[in-house]
Structures are given as structure tokens and as C-alpha cells.
Amino acid sequence: PHAAVDGGHATAIAFDRGAWELLDSGREEVAEDTADEWYGRRGVGWVRLRHLATGKVVFAANHHGPLPVNTGGMCGGRATAYNVLRVLGRRAGAEDAKLLLGDLNAEVGSATHLALEAHLHRAAHNWVDAVYASCPAETVKNLGAGGSDHDAVAVAFRI
């Protein structure tokens, strides 16, 4: 039995209700596209989940970054990254394992990635998609295309 949390702005987070308890969830706006390629504001959807067997808590956030790619939107990549990190800082517990993932609309080496990498481990990336975490990844596997213009990426962590 899985559940999904709508993070708004074309994001969602799904989890197994048999293994995880939803503690809290929300969404916040963190950026806005530039006029050159404007679709609107961009957000972060997030959940706090408690693992039923171990009691450990994971904070997971999904972000769909602003356009055009590598601009960081109206306020730039650094501001977008710090707005995302602010959500993690305000909403995650101090002891939570923290995960940030999504289509950041930014390539490795961009201002967005450089700002995130100063605070989190980049566990995986593929083109504009990335997974960041408060701990290093155990395994990373590119699963290839699955009906999207983005490859699916599987990342496992030991928490």
C-alpha cells in the first residue's frame, strides 16, 4: 500500500505505508522562471517520514527548478539553492536524514549545484536531475529512459 504526497509545482513524493509513517508534509515556493521561458513559480514539496521498524526519520524534498536551464530563474541559481536549503533547515529535524531530489533544471557546475554541494553530498546526477543527501549514497544506478526525456535514477542510502 503506497501513498503519495502532492508537492505542488509538478512534484510528488510516494512512500510505502507498510514501512513508513507520515509525520508531516508541505510545500513552499522557492524560485520563479525568467521571462525568457516563463511557466511560473517553482517550489519544493517535502515530507518527514518515520521508518516503522527502526524509528529513524527521513526528510525528503522534491524540487522542480526554474527555467531557463542553468539560470536559477529570476533570482539566480545561488538564491534558488539557498531558498531550497532554507526549507530543509526550517522543516527537517536536526537528526533527520535529509534527501533532496528532482529535476533542478541546472547542470553540474551551475551556481545552483555549487551552492547545494557546499552543504549536502551530491549522491547522483544525470543531466539536470540530481539527488543530494546529508549522507553519502550506498549505490547509484541509472535505469534508463522510462517514457520521459529524463532517465530514471535509483539511489540507495544506509540510514
Taking only the tens place, the pLDDT of each residue in 68-92 is 999 999 999 999 999 999 999 999 9
pTM flag (> 0.85): yes
Q: pLDDT band for 149, please (50, 70, 90 cuts).
A: confident
Residue bearing cell 521571462: 35
Beta bridge partner(s), residue 20:
51
Q: Burial code of 34-48, b = ≥16 C-beta within 10 A, e = fewer?
A: eeeeeeeebbbbbbb
Q: Give every CB contact of residue 133 below 8 A, 6+ residues apart in sequence.
A: 97, 98, 99, 100, 120, 121, 123, 157
Cα–Cα distance measured from residue 44 to residue 84, given in angstroms and rounded to the nearest whole number = 7
Domains in the chain, CATH or no CATH each: 2-156 (3.60.10.10)
Cα–Cα distance measured from residue 47 to residue 112, given in angstroms and rounded to the nearest whole number = 22
Taking only the tens place, the pLDDT of each residue in 115-124 is 999 999 999 9
